[in-house]
Amino acid sequence: MRISLKPNDVSEPAETIAAMRKRRGGSLLNVDRVLLHSPPMAKAWNDFMGTIRGDLMVDARIRELVICSLAVLHAADYAFGPHLAAFRKLGGNEMQAAALRDPVTAVGNRALFPGLDRAILALTVEMTRKTKVSDPVVAAIRTALNEQQLLDLIGLISAYIMVFRFLAATGFGDSEGCPE
């Protein structure tokens, strides 16, 4: 870890820590303990990621499909397992779970993933690997999602790209568990 962890019993800033603990079900995760080195960053992150995880119009199964794909694309093995378990609980099957270990190939897997899933996987891959997303990729999603759902999906993907890059830069690894 490149930035030390604040102690588990850190108490200031009290309001931010209380909000973090509430969002996490009572405990602080290691990412929270790193973020607390910058109280403004900790507050903003908690507020933003709380919205991303809980308030967007993105189906929970799709959210986990996206996060699993991003975990692989960012070599964040610590996040893949927990999010894959969530994907399975939300209806993903074992064959889909295995295929998500290679999201680039999964984009073309018509046998395992319906059209919308493949389009979302394609968007996730393009947003991770390129700065510009192709019109055909967005068009394939537009047929199934309204404007808010599309915007929320793009926001979800963008947020988790940020999460995985932040975690990589701060030195998170397998020993820290799934931090977000």
Mean pLDDT, range 135-154, rounded to an integer: 97
Assess whether pLDDT exceeds 90 at residue 180. Answer: no
Residue 154, CA distances (Å) to 29, 73, 113, 122, 127 in order: 26, 16, 20, 12, 9
Task: Write down the number of H helices and E strands in the chain.
Answer: 10, 0
Residue 97, CA distances (Å) to 20, 41, 75 in order: 30, 34, 16
Residue 57, CA distances (Å) to 93, 151, 153, 154 in order: 23, 9, 8, 11
Helices (H), 25-143: 30-35, 39-54, 60-73, 77-89, 94-99, 103-106, 115-129, 135-142
Tens of pLDDT along 37-54? 999 999 999 999 999 999
- Structure confidence at residue 173 (pLDDT): 74
- Structure confidence at residue 46 (pLDDT): 98
- Structure confidence at residue 139 (pLDDT): 97
Q: Which of 63, 82, 66 is nearest to 74 (CA)?
A: 66
- Structure confidence at residue 50 (pLDDT): 97
Within a 10 A sphere around the Cβ of 45, how many other Cβ atoms?
A: 22
Biggest distance spanned by C-alpha atoms of the chain? 52
Whole-angstrom Cα distance, residue 41 to residue 88? 32
- Structure confidence at residue 177 (pLDDT): 57
- Structure confidence at residue 78 (pLDDT): 87
Assess whether pLDDT exceeds 60 at residue 132. Answer: yes
- Structure confidence at residue 178 (pLDDT): 62
- For residues 163 and 49, the answer to whether their CB atoms sit within 8 Å is yes
Tens of pLDDT along 55-78? 999 999 999 999 999 999 999 988
- For residues 96 and 113, the answer to whether their CB atoms sit within 8 Å is yes
- The dihedral over CA atoms of 75, 44, 120, 102, expressed in degrees to the nearest 10, equals 10
Residue 175's pLDDT band (boundaries 50, 70, 90)? low
Mean pLDDT, range 68-94, rounded to an integer: 95
